[in-house]
Each structure stands twice: as C-alpha cells, then as structure tokens.
Structure 1
Amino acid sequence: MTDREGTSAEHISAQQFHEAPGTAGWHVLYGGAQAIFPTDSLQTGAEFALRVADAAAELDREPDIDLRPHAVAVCTARNRRGRLDRIDAEVARRVSDVASGMGLAPDASRLQTAQIGIAQAEGVDTSEFWLAALGYERVDDVLADPLRRGPRLWFYELDRPGRGRTHIDVAVPNDQGAPRAAAAIAAGGRLAIGDDIPAWWGLASPDNHSVDIAAWGDVSEQVM
C-alpha cells in the first residue's frame, strides 16, 4: 500500500467507506479496506490480480494483492497504518467491477486479519525488543511487518486480571463477530470480558489464552 500521508486527502471512517457506492462486499479490518475473491484456479487469480493492479494504477494507489491458488485477497489503504480516504473507496469499486466482469464475487466468511496485543507492566516498554526479534518497523502506534504478511503488534498496560497477558486480536466483518465468538465458546472457550459486546468479545481458551474477536472496526464512525 502506498503511503499517502503527505497528500491533501482526508481520512474517512469505516462507516463513510461503506456509504460510498460500489463498496458492497468489502470490510474495514486491521490494515485497511479488504475483500477476498475465491477463484477456480491460480491462473484465474493471476489474471484478476493483474487487472486489479491496472485498475488501481489509474488512481495512483497500490493495494496489497495476495494471490493464492484458489483466492485473491485485496487490501487498500491510504497509508501503512491502514487509514482510508475516498480514493480507497474508488479502488474498491473498480476492483469489484473487475471481479464482476470475471464472474468473481467476494466471500466475507473467509475474511479476517489478526494482530497481537503485548501486555506490559506499568512504565515498561518492550517495543524495541519486538522490533529486533521480528524485523518489523514502527508505523505510528503499532509495529508492523514491512510486507504486511505477519500480524501487527500493539502494546498496552496490563490492567485486567483473569486472562493471559499477551493476547491475539482477530478482526472480522461486523456480521461475523457473534458467530465467530459463539463458535470459539462452543469449542471450549469462555467469555472473559463482555462489556463491549457486540463491538468485541474478550475470550479465554480452556487454558486461559486470550483472544479478542473484534467486529467494531468494520462499522466505526470514528476515523481510525
């Protein structure tokens, strides 16, 4: 994704993104607006990826395109932090037009992104250790894989007992939050923090590992 922090374009919220024409089937998760398009072959996916690249190039935007044998994931954002502007909504519309022309449709049930929340004691900063250990880079308030393949890391002060210290955040489309949390609880997990349902579910595994199912970002009215 091209960093456009220096342009005059204004950030938009997830809600504003969804209000733009042509964004149906896209969702705002960690890293930007995203969609996954199942394909019947690697060759079909490669052709689709090339057409997506051409469509985005006309807008001077470089989305991430993840080509797999039977699916292509596309993620667009104004900068590496994942913030959006109106150009991203237009990228989504054009990508969806390309997909429709090829007989492809997005599948929200397969869409998710993950990040890791690193708990720290008061006054402790371990970010330099994680930067060195993972070969990541600092992007605003998170640490990120320069190629955006691995999960992002964010840091918080440990202030809630009862769950494991470091936890995984799983961002899903808004309407996928409740069934995903229910499935995890049915598989032996428990609800550890439920204060903000249906925005997010704070879960714990049978062995007290922490996982948050985050559905709030996809419908947020706030510019993130």
Structure 2
Amino acid sequence: MTDATPGSELITPAQFHAASGVTDWRVTATGPQAVFLADSLAEAAALVAPIVAAAERHGILPDVDLRPEAIVVRVPYRDPEGIPAAAPEFAASVSRTAAELRLAADPARAQAIGIYVAQHSGADVRPFFTAALGYDDFGDSDAIDPLRCGPQLAFNPITGDAPARGRTHFDVFVPADQAQARVDAALAAGGRLVDDTHAPAWWSLASPDNHGVDIASWTDTFG
C-alpha cells in the first residue's frame, strides 16, 4: 500500500467535496469522515472488509471506528497540508458498498473534537502536553494521539495576557451544513454567544459558567 506521506499529491476539502460519490462524507479537522448507521455490531462489521479492500486499491490508510450503532470511517490527515488525492475514490467506493449493505449514512453525526491551548507568547507548553498525554508533535503547532483516538491539540500564543495564566477551550468541528443547528442547540441549552464575527467559519460560545467552546465548520469548506 502507498501511504499518503508528506510530499504526496494532496487536495483541499473543497476539491474533495467537488468529486463524485462523496455526498455521504464531510471534512472535519481530522480529515474526511462518514458515519454509517447500523442495528448491530455484526451489521456494522460487514463493511470492514470492503473498507480494507478499497484502502488497498486506492493507497489510503483509513481509521475505522466500529460500534453497535454505527461504523465511522475517516481518512486522517497524515500531512497537515491536505487530504490524499485518492481519498475521493476511496470514499465513493466505501459509500457504494455501504448502500449495497443498506447501511444509511448520517452526515450530521460527523464531527471532530479539538482542544485549543492558548499559551502566553513567551511560553512553549507543547512539550509538557505531549509528554503528559503521550502525544506526538503534528505540524508546527499541534499535537496528536499516535493512534488518533484522543482529541487533537492546537497550541497558539496570546498576547497581552499575564504569564503563567493558561487558557484552554474546546474546538468542535462539525459539517458546514450542521454548524448553525449545533450553535442554536448550545445556546438553547443555556450557552452564551461570545463572538460571531467569524461566522460561518466559527462561532465562539461560553457555557453558563463561562467555559469556552468554538463551533467550527471552516474545515469542511476551505480551499
């Protein structure tokens, strides 16, 4: 199998979505993903072998999350600069087989959770977090679980803040066509809108006790 290593041909989310046969799929911060619903573990597992076969044909290394309720298929970013060019063909193949198996896609369930660690401009906290969590560096400013099970971390400096005061919030990446509904649901559940000047790329919300959450859809549309 040819891995999608740095230097391979890459495409953007917009190019991925422009391909045929990928309507079941959405791009989040971790890459393209699709959720196919199932009534049992055995029913969901029936898609595993076809996924493996499609991965071999197209040179893709997918992540597969098998649950009794659904099977989640992701094409994870192995290069922070883009999606493997073969990903649309792989995705279309998986979707065709899922349809044959009568596993309905539910794009509204696609999402990725990230943790945004805002650090003082004079600090570098990524080594601490990678050591404490057993994560690996990813790109210039992120960190990931080597098995891509835990949330991705992003480390970004802030200015004008007191040293030794950390700030952290959750990033919730959802499909672009689901973002407004997710924001509305969070506000209806007692949340507060902090900033919508970047919408529809992202909205900054706060919980009733002022914990920060960004609802982001830009990864599903840019490029």
User: Structure 1-normalised TM-score?
Assistant: 0.91
Q: 1:204 aligns with which of 187, 196, 206?
A: 206
Instruction: Give unpaired runs (5+ residues) of structure 2.
Output: none
Distance 1:91 1:189, change over 3 A: same
Contact 1:31 1:83 in 2 (8 A): no
Q: What residue in structure 2 maps to residue 26 of structure 1?
A: 25
Contact 1:67 1:73 in 2 (8 A): yes
Q: Which amino acid aligns with 2:148?
A: R
Q: What residue in structure 1 maps to residue 149 of structure 2?
A: 149
Three-state SS of the structure 1 residue aligned to 2:64 is strand
Q: Which amino acid aligns with 1:130?
A: F
Q: Which amino acid aligns with 1:128?
A: P
Cα separation, 2, equivalents of 1:19 and 1:208: 39
Q: What residue in structure 1 maps to residue 168 of structure 2?
A: 166
Q: What residue in structure 2 maps to residue 15 of structure 1?
A: 14
Q: What residue in structure 2 maps to residue 176 of structure 1?
A: 178
User: Structure 2-normalised TM-score?
Assistant: 0.91
Cα separation, 1, equivalents of 2:84 and 2:215: 25
Contact 1:76 1:91 in 2 (8 A): no
Distance 1:150 1:13, change over 3 A: same
Q: 2:196 aligns with which of 188, 194, 197?
A: 194
State whether structure 2 residue 76 is matched by structure 1 residue 72: no
Q: Which amino acid aligns with 1:106?
A: A
Q: Deviations over 1:96-118 (max 9, x none)?
A: 01101111121012221100000
What's the % identity of the aligned pairs? 44
Cα separation, 2, equivalents of 1:92 and 1:100: 12
State whether structure 2 residue 151 is matched by structure 1 residue 137: no
Cα separation, 1, equivalents of 2:86 and 2:78: 12
Cα separation, 2, equivalents of 1:166 and 1:158: 11
RMSD: 1.8
Q: What residue in structure 2 maps to residue 85 of structure 1?
A: 84
Cα separation, 2, equivalents of 1:86 and 1:32: 12
Instruction: Give unpaired runs (5+ residues) of structure 1.
Output: none
Q: What residue in structure 2 maps to residue 53 of structure 1?
A: 52
Cα separation, 2, equivalents of 1:95 and 1:181: 30
Runs of 4+ in structure 1 off by over 4 angstroms are none
Three-state SS of the structure 1 residue aligned to 2:83 is coil
State the number of aligned residues: 217
Cα separation, 1, equivalents of 2:186 and 2:58: 40
Give the superposition deviation at 1:44. 1.2
